[in-house]
Chains A and B, each alone.
Chain A
Amino acid sequence: MDLTALTLANIREALTRRQVSAVELVGAHLARIDQRDTDLRAYLTLSPDRALEQARRIDALIAAGEPLPSLAGVPVAIKDAIITRGVRTTAGSRILQNYIPPYDATVVERLESAGACLLGKTNCDEFAMGSSTENSGYFATRNPHDLTRVPGGSSGGSAAAVAAGLATVALGSDTGGSIRQPAGLCGTVGMMGTYGRVSRFGLVAFASSLDHIGPLGRSVRDVAAVLRVIAGHDPCDSTSVSQPVPDYEAMLDGPVTGFKVGVADEYFNGLSPAIGDSIQKGIDLLAKLGCQITPISLPHTDYAIACYYIIATAEASSNLARYDGVRYGFRASGYDGLAEMYRKTRDGGFGPEVKRRIMLGTHVLSSGYYDAYYLKAQKVRTLITRDFQEAFDDVDVILTPTSPIPAFKLGERLEDPLEMYLADIYTVTADLAGIPGISVPCGKTRVEGEPRLPVGMQILARHFDEARLLQLAYAFEQAGGSEV
């Protein structure tokens, strides 16, 4: 039994049958990380003591014949934008190089209460700003399917870890696509719930009205199980909602015949055939399963990137104002007075992409420009949200490619920041509208002379309709969707 290729159900069975202990399971993952992570570079910080301590606790419960919590013994990886008490957390930035949080994010508390074993913190683009993990202040993570290519971003470390068996499941964060896109590029499942479904308490904030935390895993069932554990109201996050959390896993098996699946032209224009072919096969498979494929229009799609990069950068400029060298993190030396301390600290601690976004955000909020940019973008956000509301009058879910391009080569898209931004086109809309979205594996590219690279298919649903989303994703997966 390859302990690093198990599902949550496999783990539960193996533990309860005493075929393996939780300590062995964690040990197998730590060993594999030791072997493969020098090449992959998915992890920034490992927490073996914490993982093994938890594993011993689980083994004691098993020995005593006690009932096990839902994620007992499961090795998890946490994106380094999510804080963990006593375990260094950097958010991928040098400005937090030595930061040791004094508390856990709510999602981390919930995972550990459910018995999960925290293996470590995964690499990400600095402050979650990026789509390739190349903006990490530390190093770039590689795609397990081709080590010369990016894993996507900003949750590239989490996606790579899950894809390569360096964790069973992982947490990532998504502001413009940062869970779904790397999941797509690495051939894993990645999901973002409705805004407010999962607490953001303990997520290093990038853009507060767009940030989400969500799970990545190798199967829809595993992602559904983790979502159930982390979702739910949190008094520490005033944007978290009181909607009850359904048992997503129990609802996976529902029939999908008759589901109206919307396909919008705007998401298929200019798509590379490498991606388009796989997605078309995915659509055909859903039709075979009895879904009604329905053409819809989302007319403001073309404005989503402009809208997103105004709102996200504006909110980021505000959220990153706290990094000033006063209470935590890096503080520059050789300054003369407080103002210079702030400036030298921020200039020394932030990478170029972060600086660019802070400046953009500051500019669009500044006096004389606020109405033209920020207020305008907020109005366009309303239009984009309305597009979805109107579409969901006619269809149950919407299907799109996750990314217009497969995993690209490291360094290939660093010249022009705008070019990198434009690749977020299929994912930013869901963050703007606050609707849930999932990316599931949908075959691999078939390009002569090129390696076969994972293609992600995205499914979007109405607010709080995660159960339906997961049902469709599960049916697709079970019908062989990842091999189309």
Chain B
Amino acid sequence: MALTEKDVRYVADLAHLDLTEAEVERFLPQLDSILNYVQKLNELDTREIEPMAQVSAGEAPPSLREDESRSSFAPDVALANAPGPGPGFFKVPRVIERE
């Protein structure tokens, strides 16, 4: 089940990555080799095994705090690292077409 260029572009698309031709060419054999290697897991019969999503699985669920609002960042602090700050919001390219 070798990986194709089409697969690489499809996955890059899902991951919002804009790969160059050179990158696709370079990554294809590398990803193929890694995916080949992980096929190894098929040697194991796991039909009766429960999946483990995280270490504390099976213990008491984490306690949740009360749903009370608490102080957080002031707007200017939250916007301080924004590449495109507006007054009190983050600026991004328009997504809704105007009539």
Residue ranges of A at the interface with B (Cβ–Cβ < 8 Å): 98-100, 102-103, 195-196, 208-209, 235, 238-239, 241, 300, 302-303, 305-307, 309-310, 317, 321, 324-331, 335-344, 346-347, 350, 352, 355-356, 358-360, 362-363, 366, 373, 375-383, 385, 416-418, 421, 433-434
Contacts and interface: CB of A to CB of B under 8 A. Distances in A.
Chain B interface mostly: loop
A343 B18 contact: yes
A30 to B, nearest CB: 27
Given A102-B73, A418-B34, A359 B92 contact: no
25 contacts: A102-B78, A102-B80, A239-B54, A303-B40, A307-B41, A317-B15, A321-B16, A326-B82, A326-B83, A326-B90, A326-B92, A335-B93, A338-B95, A346-B17, A362-B15, A363-B7, A378-B51, A379-B44, A379-B52, A380-B44, A380-B46, A380-B49, A382-B50, A382-B52, A385-B52
B37 A306 contact: yes
B31 A356 contact: yes
A358 B17 contact: yes
Interface residues of B, number: 51
Contacts of B15: 317, 321, 346, 358-359, 362
Contacts of A380: 41, 44, 46, 49
A243 to B, nearest CB: 11
Contacts of A417: 30, 34
Contacts of A325: 83
Nearest to A355: B17
B46 A346 contact: no
Contacts of B38: 306, 309-310, 373, 377
B34 A331 contact: no
Contacts, number: 166
B17 A383 contact: no
Contacts of A241: 56
A347 B11 contact: no
B11 A433 contact: no
Contact of B46 (A235, A327, A338, A376): A376
A381 B34 contact: no
Chain A interface mostly: helix
Contact of B81 (A239, A306, A327, A376): A327
B84 to A, nearest CB: 7
A347 B17 contact: yes
Highest count of chain A CB atoms <10 Å: which of B19, B35, B55, B81: B55
Nearest to A208: B54
Contact of A209 (B50, B54, B90): B54
Nearest to B12: A359
Nearest to B13: A343
Interface in B1-30: 7-8, 11-12, 14-20, 23, 26-27, 30
Interface in B30-68: 30-31, 33-35, 37-44, 46, 49-56, 62, 65
B2 to A, nearest CB: 13
B62 A238 contact: yes
Given A209-B54, A359-B8, A433-B55, A239 B14 contact: no
Given A328-B81, A344-B18, A303 B44 contact: yes
B11 A346 contact: no
5 closest A-B pairs (Cβ-Cβ)? Answer: A434-B55, A378-B51, A331-B83, A343-B18, A328-B81
B27 to A, nearest CB: 6
A472 B19 CA distance: 50
A262 to B, nearest CB: 20
Given A326-B92, A337-B93, A383-B49, A343 B80 contact: no
A62 to B, nearest CB: 34
Contacts of B52: 378-379, 381-382, 385
Nearest to B48: A379
Contact of A343 (B17, B46, B49, B54): B17
Contact of B44 (A300, A326, A342, A418): A300
